[in-house]
Amino acid sequence: MRSCAIWFSLSVLSLGLQHLSAASPGTVEVFYSRGAFPIIARGLCLISSPFPFSIAELTVGVSALFLISWIAGTIRAVRQAPGTRRRAVLHQVAVILSFLFTAYSGFVVLWGLNYNRQPFSHIVGLASRPASVDDLAALCDNLCRRANYLRLHVSEDSVGAMRLNDSIPVALRRASLGYDETSSIYPVLGGQYSAPKAVFSSDLWSYTGIGGMYWPFTGEANVNIAVPASSIPATACHEMAHQRGFAREDEANYIAYVACRLHPDADFQYSGALLGLNNAMAELRRRNPGRYAVIRGQYSEGVARDLALVDSFWRAHEGPVERFSDEVNDRYLKANGQSDGVLSYGRMVDLLLAEYLSARTGGS
């Protein structure tokens, strides 16, 4: 019980630090996000990168076994004699609470404070401004034409779907090339980190609705490789944005889009274009279904096939596990300051519009 009290105290301190840091994003940016965090993340990458498998995936599996063992131990404790039952149950509860308190404290120190850093738009001077439906439609049209063009420069598999230039492990190792280019424009995205890792249990993982995950305890960017190939490059770059300390989902999506756009290889460029197009078109559909339908009719056959394949993939994996996972993710995001939860992924459109309008007006 004493160890539980110690870890509980540390968790309270971590929670207090998380809330206090939210009031001072400039301080977090200087001392944590650009100070301590890169050292922490790169140190973790040095430890985890030599392993060809995801340590995060292994950790989750071991944690699941630990949970099963804890449940079994609790049941045994309840069945003990009345004189020792209460102490045994309290011991089991203390064990799981110590585990949870430790995990939360580690999360805050190793990565969680990044939720309270300065917005990416502020860091790079990307000013958001009011955007009309015409502006949004123009952005969608631009992304549509780019996706159609890039689709001509990627290869196809036997069913006519986009195919990566090479194997998935090689493609994941190529992901950093986009960040090499991006860091010349946005130095805050530079640095050497470990390559994204494929999740071996991706087929099962797909039923959670998760395409990728950054694991702060090992510094690993994990990618679901069961998804259609057109999603893999953008997903890898999204998780690499988290790896570089950008925790907010809209920012990670936008950074992934930029890293893919500046990548030297067409498969990454195309994947990023689809990411931007899908999110922008979803917003246009919400605001003006008629304009959406017009641009949707301009998709090339290849783009339409790829997007339909992605949509059918996730529909095939819908179910209670996916809904539960989505609810957990929604609550997790809201608990970390993203008030619109899972809808925050789509807020990258604000950044896309800011970039598009800035470029159209010459940055004025």
Query: Could you list the pLDDT tens digit for every one of the 364 residues in the chain?
Result: 555 556 556 666 666 677 677 889 999 999 999 999 999 999 999 999 999 999 999 988 887 887 787 777 667 666 665 556 666 666 667 777 777 778 888 888 899 999 999 999 999 988 877 788 999 999 999 999 999 999 999 999 999 999 999 999 999 999 999 999 999 999 999 999 999 999 999 999 899 899 999 999 999 999 999 999 999 999 999 999 999 999 999 999 999 999 999 999 999 999 999 999 999 999 999 999 999 999 999 999 999 999 999 999 999 998 886 675 666 656 655 655 555 443 434 578 999 999 998 887 765 4
How many CA within 13 A on the CB side of residue 274?
Answer: 29
Same domain? 9 vs 136: no
Tokens of 260: 């893919």
Same structural domain for residues 54 and 184? Answer: no
| 326 lies in the same domain as 180 | yes
248 and 168, same structural domain?
yes
Regarding whether 110 and 22 lie in a shared domain, the answer is yes
**Pair 19, 83 in one domain:** yes
Residues 192 and 94 in one domain: no
Q: Which long-range contacts (CB under 8 A, 24 or more apart) does 215-218 make?
A: 215/54, 215/55, 215/56, 215/59, 216/106, 216/107, 216/110, 216/111, 216/112, 217/44, 217/56, 217/59, 217/106, 217/107, 217/110, 218/44, 218/47, 218/48, 218/55, 218/56, 218/59
Question: Identity (one letter) of the amino acid at 300?
Answer: S
Query: 0.85 exceeded by the pTM?
Result: yes
Those residues with Cβ within 8 angstroms of residue 121's Cβ, 6 or more apart along the chain or in another chain: 127, 128, 351, 354
- Can you give the pLDDT at residue 63? 79
Indicate whether 285 and 250 sit together in one domain.
yes
The answer to whether the CB of 207 falls within 8 A of the CB of 322 is: yes
pLDDT of residue 326: 62
Cα gap 235→213, rounded to integer Å = 9
- Whether residues 205 and 281 share a domain: the answer is yes
Return the pLDDT at 222: 97
- Is residue 89 domain-shared with residue 235, that is, in the same domain? no
Boundary residue ending a domain (116, 151, 166) = 116
Rounded Cα distance, 292 and 91, in Å: 59
Same domain, 71 and 184: no
Boundary (domain end) residue, out of 100, 116, 132:
116
Whole domain around residue 240: which residue ranges? 122-360
pLDDT of amino acid 114: 94
For the chain, what is the domain count?
2
Distances (CA, A) of 216 to 54, 112, 221, 286: 12, 8, 9, 35
- Which residue among 54, 87, 116 closes a domain? 116
Report the pLDDT value the prediction gives residue 92, as an integer from 0 to 100.
67
CA separation, residue 139 to residues 48, 132, 135 (Å): 40, 11, 6
Residues 177 and 238 in one domain: yes
Q: State the Cα angle at 223 between 217 and 224, rounded to 5°.
A: 125
Asked if residues 248 and 123 have their Cβ atoms less than 8 Å apart, the reply is no
